C-alpha cells in the first residue's frame, strides 16, 4: 500500500476545500485533495445545487408558448453544458498548482489525521498535519413507504427527470420545495405542493408569506397546507401521494424534505471526531473539531448551508494555518440569504415579527413592488410580484433588517447587508442617488415612509 504524507489533506471538493487547497498550494504547502466522484469536481454548488438549479429557473422564466417538454429538454442540455464547463475549469484550477495533488477515491479515517482512500482495488494511505472535512450534505429521504420508488426524486435527480412530468407533486414547503415548484410550473407542469405547515414560510412575517403564496399561485402552483405525506404509491404509469385528508396523483414526485451530512463511510470515530444528534460534525467558532488538527467546513459542520458561508469558512481556517488565527464564525454580521423563487426572495437581519418579539422600538416601512412608482425595472421585465419591507431602529435610524421580494433582490440585499454592517442609516439610503432604471432606487421611495 502506497503511503504519502502532506501538510494539508482536504476531503471533498466543495467551495471551502478547493479555496483552501488553492491558497495553501499556491503558497508552496503540500496539499492533497480527495474527491470520490468525478462528477463533483468543483463541489456541489456548480454541479448539482446553486448554479445548475438557477440556470433551470432562468430557462423556465424564459419559456412563453414553446412546447413544455421540448423547452425543458433544451434547458437541461444548457444546464449540463454549463456544469461541464465549470467542472473542467475547477479541475484545471487546482491541477495546475504544482503543490496540489488530486486523488480520486473514497476516504475513510483509520486514525488521527490519517485516512485510506479506495478506488476500486487500489488503496492509498495519506497522513497529514492538518485535515479538513469538506464533504457537504445530501438530500434526506424521509422514512416514508414508497419513498424509494422509480417515480420519486430528490433535488438532484429531478433536474434530469425525463420526460418533463405533466403533473408533479412536491413534498415539502420549504425553500427548496418552493423553488422547484415554481420552476416546474413555469416549465409547464401542473404542480401541487404538499406543505405540512398551516401556511408557507411560517417563520416569516404574514404579509411576506402571503405575497410569496400569491406569486406561486399566479405561476400555477397549487399549495395544500397541513398535508404531511404518509405514503407514496407507484401505479406503474403514475404515482400518488397520500396524506391525512386526501391524496394527489402525479407523474413524478419531488421529495424536498431537507438534507443530511454526507459522512457515510468516513468513520469519523476512528479520528476522534464528534458529531451531533443529527450527524453533523461538531465544531467550535474556529471550525475546529474534537480531534486535534482536524477542521470541518461547509455544510457538513451544520452551519448555514450557503456557498458563501463555506467560502468564509475557508477564510477562518486559512487564518489559523497561515494568518493571525483570530477569525471566527461569530464575526459574521448581517448575513444575507436568497431563495430563488420568481421573483427572488431575499432577507437580511431581523423581520418585523422578530424585532417586535425582542421588544425593540422600530419603524417599519413596506410597499408592494407593483405600487413603487420610482422602481420601473420590474415593470420593464414584466415581473411585478412581491414587496419591499425594511425594519429600522426608531432611536438610531439604523437598519435592523430587510425583506426584499422583488426582481434583482439577490443583488439589492447585498447593498442593504453592507449598509447594516457599516452602520449606514436608513435615511442615508433613502436620500442617496441611485442609477435609473434600477431596483436599488426603490429605496428612495420605500424609505420615504420613515418619519422625518
Q: Which residues carry a binding-site annotation for NAD(+)?
A: 172-179, 258
Q: How many helices (H) and strands (E) does the chain have?
A: 12, 22
Long-range contact pairs involving 322-331 (C-beta distance under 8 Å, separation at least 24): 322/23, 322/24, 322/27, 322/29, 325/286, 327/286, 328/285, 328/286, 329/285, 329/286, 329/287, 329/303, 330/285
Which helix (H) or strand (E) is 349 found in, with range? strand 345-349
Whole-Å CA distances, 138 to 7, 49, 155: 28, 11, 9
* DSSP assignments along 281-302, one per residue: BP--TT-B-SSTTEEE-GGGGT
DSSP H helices in 63-174: 68-95
**206-219 and 175-187 are packed helices; what angle lies between their axes, rounded to 10 degrees?**
30
List residues forming the annotated binding site for FAD.
54, 299
Going across the sheet that includes 399-405, the strands are 337-339, 345-349, 399-405, 387-393, 362-368
User: Hey, what's the cell of 260?
Assistant: 443530511
List residues forming the annotated binding site.
54, 172-179, 258, 299
Can you tell me the distance from the alpha carbon of 234 to that of 150, in angstroms, rounded to the nearest whole number? 8
- From the list 3, 225, 363, 436, the catalytic residue is 436
Position of cell 470541518?
Answer: 296
**Does 436 participate in catalysis according to the annotation?**
yes
Can you tell me the distance from the alpha carbon of 272 to that of 289, in angstroms, rounded to the nearest whole number? 9
Q: Catalytic positions, please?
A: 436
Amino acid at each position: 500500500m502506497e503511503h504519502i504524507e502532506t501538510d494539508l489533506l482536504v476531503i471533498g471538493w466543495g467551495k471551502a476545500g478547493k479555496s483552501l487547497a488553492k491558497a495553501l498550494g499556491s503558497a508552496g504547502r503540500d496539499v492533497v485533495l480527495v474527491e470520490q466522484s468525478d462528477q463533483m469536481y468543483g463541489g456541489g454548488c456548480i454541479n448539482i445545487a446553486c448554479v445548475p438549479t438557477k440556470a433551470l429557473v432562468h430557462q423556465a422564466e424564459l419559456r412563453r408558448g414553446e412546447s413544455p417538454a421540448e423547452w425543458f429538454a433544451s434547458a437541461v442540455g444548457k444546464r449540463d453544458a454549463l456544469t461541464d464547463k465549470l467542472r473542467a475549469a475547477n479541475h484545471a484550477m487546482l491541477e495546475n498548482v504544482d503543490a496540489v495533488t488530486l486523488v480520486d477515491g473514497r476516504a475513510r479515517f483509520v486514525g488521527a489525521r490519517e485516512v485510506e482512500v479506495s478506488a476500486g482495488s487500489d488503496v492509498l494511505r495519506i497522513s497529514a498535519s492538518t485535515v479538513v472535512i469538506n464533504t457537504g450534505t445530501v438530500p434526506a429521504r424521509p422514512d416514508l413507504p414508497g419513498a424509494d420508488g422509480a417515480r420519486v426524486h430528490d433535488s438532484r435527480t429531478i433536474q434530469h427527470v425525463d420526460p418533463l412530468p405533466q403533473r408533479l407533486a412536491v413534498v415539502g414547503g420549504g425553500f427548496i420545495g418552493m423553488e422547484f415548484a415554481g420552476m416546474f410550473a413555469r416549465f409547464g407542469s401542473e404542480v401541487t405542493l404538499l406543505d405540512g405547515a398551516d401556511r408557507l414560510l411560517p417563520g416569516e412575517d404574514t404579509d411576506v408569506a402571503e405575497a410569496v403564496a400569491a406569486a406561486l399561485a399566479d405561476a400555477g402552483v397549487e399549495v395544500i397546507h397541513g398535508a404531511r405525506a404518509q405514503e407514496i404509491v407507484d401505479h406503474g404509469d403514475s404515482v400518488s401521494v397520500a396524506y391525512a385528508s386526501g391524496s394527489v396523483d402525479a407523474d413524478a414526485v419531488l421529495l424536498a424534505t431537507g438534507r443530511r451530512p454526507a459522512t457515510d463511510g468516513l468513520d469519523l470515530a476512528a479520528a476522534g471526531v464528534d458529531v451531533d444528534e443529527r450527524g453533523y460534525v461538531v465544531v467550535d467558532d474556529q471550525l475546529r473539531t474534537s480531534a486535534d488538527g482536524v477542521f470541518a467546513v461547509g455544510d457538513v459542520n451544520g452551519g448555514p448551508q450557503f456557498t458563501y458561508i463555506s467560502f468564509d469558512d475557508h477564510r477562518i481556517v486559512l487564518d489559523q494555518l497561515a494568518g493571525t488565527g483570530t477569525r471566527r464564525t461569530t464575526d459574521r454580521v448581517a448575513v444575507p440569504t436568497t431563495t430563488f423563487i420568481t421573483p427572488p426572495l431575499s432577507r437580511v437581519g431581523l423581520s418585523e415579527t422578530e424585532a417586535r418579539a425582542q421588544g425593540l422600538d422600530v419603524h417599519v416601512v413596506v410597499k408592494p413592488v407593483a405600487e413603487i412608482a420610482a422602481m420601473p425595472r420590474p415593470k420593464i421585465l414584466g415581473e411585478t410580484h412581491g414587496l419591499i419591507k425594511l425594519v429600522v431602529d426608531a432611536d438610531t435610524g439604523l437598519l435592523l433588517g430587510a425583506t426584499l421580494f422583488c426582481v434583482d433582490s439577490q443583488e439589492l440585499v447585498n447593498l442593504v447587508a453592507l449598509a447594516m454592517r457599516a452602520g449606514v442609516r436608513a435615511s442615508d439610503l433613502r436620500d442617496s442617488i441611485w442609477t435609473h432604471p434600477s431596483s436599488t432606487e426603490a429605496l428612495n421611495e420605500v424609505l420615504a415612509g420613515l418619519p422625518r
